[in-house]
A = this chain, B = another copy of it.
Amino acid sequence: MALNSENTLLTALINHFKNYFPLTGKEKEELSSHFRERKIKRRGFILQQGDVCKHFSFVVSGCLKMYAVDQTGKEHNLQFAMENDWITDLASFYSEKPSMVYIEAIEPSSILQIEHADLLYLYTNYHKFDRNFRIIVEQRCIELQNRVLQNISASAEERYRYFLQQYPTLPNRLPHTQIASYLGITPEFLSKIRKDLINKP
């Protein structure tokens, strides 16, 4: 498949890699032959609990969430992925064992997906993909560690303030109950926090 200006999804991915170590022409071609475009509608799943996570996904537009469901049926949001984010269940993807989580579109979304074997092919044949994905995962690691720090040290209100800083636009895009689930609090309590924040910002 030739690269051309009409292939807008792929150009978003190529531009994304410019933030790391930019790709050569050949590497770009490999992207186009190993990543597959997919449109996901609202409430569509790209991974369900019990299935093996077969793809590493790049979000071109829209928004997805990854979450676990506990014994009582409650959902716990682990990650939101918007434009230019990556999302996958790393544990299931590399081990090829059944996943414990769901990945679901919150908005109609366009994504680019690569399969496990194809990504290994890119890793094996191109140093740069190993490097760029190392960096991508490192950044996710930093985010996760910050989130752990918040969780073990900060109150619900502080965590919400931090969330607003980190994702200023998200409260406009998704229901507050989703944010509450991400923060590890109830929707009722988040409602109270937001009321308090209005009075004393």
Contact = CB atoms under 8 A, between A and B. Distances in A.
Interface in A139-187: 140-142, 144-149, 151-153, 181-184
Question: How many of these chains are in the complex?
Answer: 2
Contacts of A94: 138
Interface in A86-113: 90-91, 94
Interface residues of A, number: 33
B153 A68 contact: yes
Given A90-B145, A137-B141, 7 more contacts: A76-B149, A78-B149, A90-B138, A140-B141, A141-B144, A151-B184, A152-B183
21 contacts: A68-B149, A74-B153, A77-B152, A90-B138, A90-B142, A91-B142, A91-B145, A91-B146, A123-B131, A130-B130, A130-B134, A133-B134, A137-B138, A144-B144, A144-B145, A144-B148, A147-B148, A148-B151, A151-B152, A152-B182, A152-B183
